[in-house]
A and B are shown apart, each in its own frame.
Chain A
Amino acid sequence: MEAWWLVLIKSVVLVALLFLVFAYLMLFERKFLGFFQLRVGPNRTGPWGLFQPFADAVKLVLKEDIIPASADPLVYRLAPMISLFVALAAYVVIPVAPSSGPVRWGIADPNAGILLLLAITSLGVYGITLGGWASQGKYTLLGSLRSTAQAISYELAMGMSLVGVLLLAGSVRLDDIVAAQARIPFAVLQPLGFLIFLICIVAETNRSPFDLPEGETELVGGYHTEYTGLRFAMYYMAEYINMIVMASLLTHLYLGGWQGPLLPPVVWFALKVAVILFVFIWLRATLPRIRYDRLMNFGWKVLLPLAALNLLGTAAVVALA
């Protein structure tokens, strides 16, 4: 065990770092979406628009904080905090680089890291559901209903595809899983599982083309329709930090984590995560939002059987080898 003050310092640094990465992820998403659409994106605040996140932050802080008259005030206030807290807490168990020397990279190193991570990220749906319910609006309620249904249908497939990795690695500790990929990353050994997991994390983070809980064309803003100012910002942060968490998880599970030639581990890790985040944005720029019933069909009738097949195959190979 590390001293409590060391853990505290590491936590503060982690949260600050996540906020910073979130701010620039948002900027780069807007930039890149612009590029994908033959525009240039934000470029007025500072060189290359680099101060845009700070301008946005100031704008959001100065906005009026509205609570609908019919809303449940306590739950309404609590819901965005749950979302943000859960998103931040999930990163605790993700190591960024191998631990050598007196100070470890990750904050916590439980021996069932993945299970804890999955449990925490699954809680994120409460923030969305409660927020949509407490706002007492039709759009918000529909948005939160969608998010629950979506979470149920995609987390199963995600968990199943992940078990294949756990079988190959023979451990649920993230460090061990990364170490097991020293020669070949699991994305090569488990291409199907990798694809399913990729699709599921897009759905899990409510990103386009699975952004049905927000669905601005039909649900205004979905679960965050009524939210303004800082509370809205919390939801926003939660969504992007979830993206970072999921991209990090994917890197560790399928892309060999921090391992790579020449460059230091942290750089490799950051590079891989950045590439996955780029893929997230690329997906958003390319695919339209899919219809709700098709989303359900796809989750239950395509992804789940495929994930089961993948799991069975892997299990057979592991058992015979």
Chain B
Amino acid sequence: MLRELAVGFETTLKNFFAPKVTIPYPEQKKPRAQGFRGLHELRRYANGLEMCVGCELCQVACPANAITVQAAENDPANPHSPGERYAYEYRIDLLRCIFCGLCEEACPTGALHLTQEFELSETSRKSLVYGRDRLVRAARSGGSVPVNVYPDFRGHRPLADIQASEQEVAGA
């Protein structure tokens, strides 16, 4: 028994001086997995048109009923999207969302994309229902997709790979 005790004390003492595994979170962030699904974004083409055509498939696909889409006809003179319709209203209730990514898979135009962003705390429930204003942005990942070229399904390809292919498309 004494030997076991000694081994135990030795182990803990070694740990005492060993480098610590804690990551000081707000200052230093752990790298996310490549398939990480965080906050949604609605992407735009490089010319500013929205990729979303208001088909409402994401709303249908959503198992948590977190997505609400209301589509409207595009004004031909001043279109929001290259399709016939666009998302007049688009809401994602992040309190309901389970970040399963089914909406991303359902989206035929690749407009909807789950970014790596995960720091989503707010001080009220209302502010966690994201509307069009906060979802549509010439965003971190999507802004460079050129007109009428739909990006590949993102699946589980490495992020760097995806970014490289996006840059190729943008360059071409």
Contact = CB atoms under 8 A, between A and B. Distances in A.
Interface of A: 32, 34-40, 43, 282, 285-287
Among all A-B residue pairs, the 5 with the closest Cβ atoms: A286-B12, A40-B22, A35-B16, A36-B12, A38-B21
Contacts of B5: 287
Contact of A286 (B8, B18, B21, B22): B8
B9 A37 contact: no
A39 B8 contact: no
5 contacts: A34-B22, A36-B15, A38-B21, A40-B22, A286-B11
B9 A286 contact: yes
A35 B22 CA distance: 10
B8 A38 contact: no
Contacts of B11: 286
A317 B141 CA distance: 84
A37 B13 contact: no
Contact of B20 (A35, A285, A286): A35
Interface string B10-48: 011101111011101000000000000000000000000
B8 A287 contact: yes
A81 B15 CA distance: 38
Nearest to A35: B16
A38 B13 CA distance: 11
A32 B16 CA distance: 7
A32 B9 CA distance: 14
Contacts of A38: 15, 18, 20-22
A39 B16 contact: no
Contacts of B22: 34, 38-40
A286 B8 CA distance: 6
Given A36-B16, A38-B15, 17 more contacts: A34-B20, A34-B22, A35-B17, A35-B20, A36-B12, A36-B15, A38-B20, A38-B21, A40-B20, A40-B22, A43-B24, A282-B9, A282-B12, A282-B13, A285-B12, A286-B9, A286-B12
A37 B21 CA distance: 9
Interface string B112-132: 000000000000000000000
Nearest to B17: A35
A38 B18 CA distance: 7
Interface in B44-92: none
Contacts of A34: 20, 22
Contacts of A35: 15-17, 20
Contacts of A282: 9, 12-13, 16
B20 A39 contact: yes
Contacts of B13: 282
A36 B16 CA distance: 4
B32 to A, nearest CB: 22
A287 B5 CA distance: 8
Contacts of B17: 35
A71 B88 CA distance: 63
B16 to A, nearest CB: 5
A286 B5 CA distance: 9
B56 to A, nearest CB: 46
Nearest to A287: B8
A286 B4 CA distance: 11
Contacts of A286: 8-9, 11-12
A37 B8 contact: no
A44 to B, nearest CB: 9
Contacts of B9: 282, 286
Contacts of B16: 32, 35-36, 282
A35 B15 CA distance: 7
Nearest to B8: A286
A210 to B, nearest CB: 15
A38 B8 CA distance: 15
Nearest to A38: B21
A50 to B, nearest CB: 16
Nearest to B21: A38
Contacts of B18: 38
B155 to A, nearest CB: 36
B87 to A, nearest CB: 42
Q: Which of B5, B11, B12 has the most CB of A within 10 A?
A: B12
A43 B8 CA distance: 27
B123 to A, nearest CB: 21
Nearest to B7: A286
A278 to B, nearest CB: 10
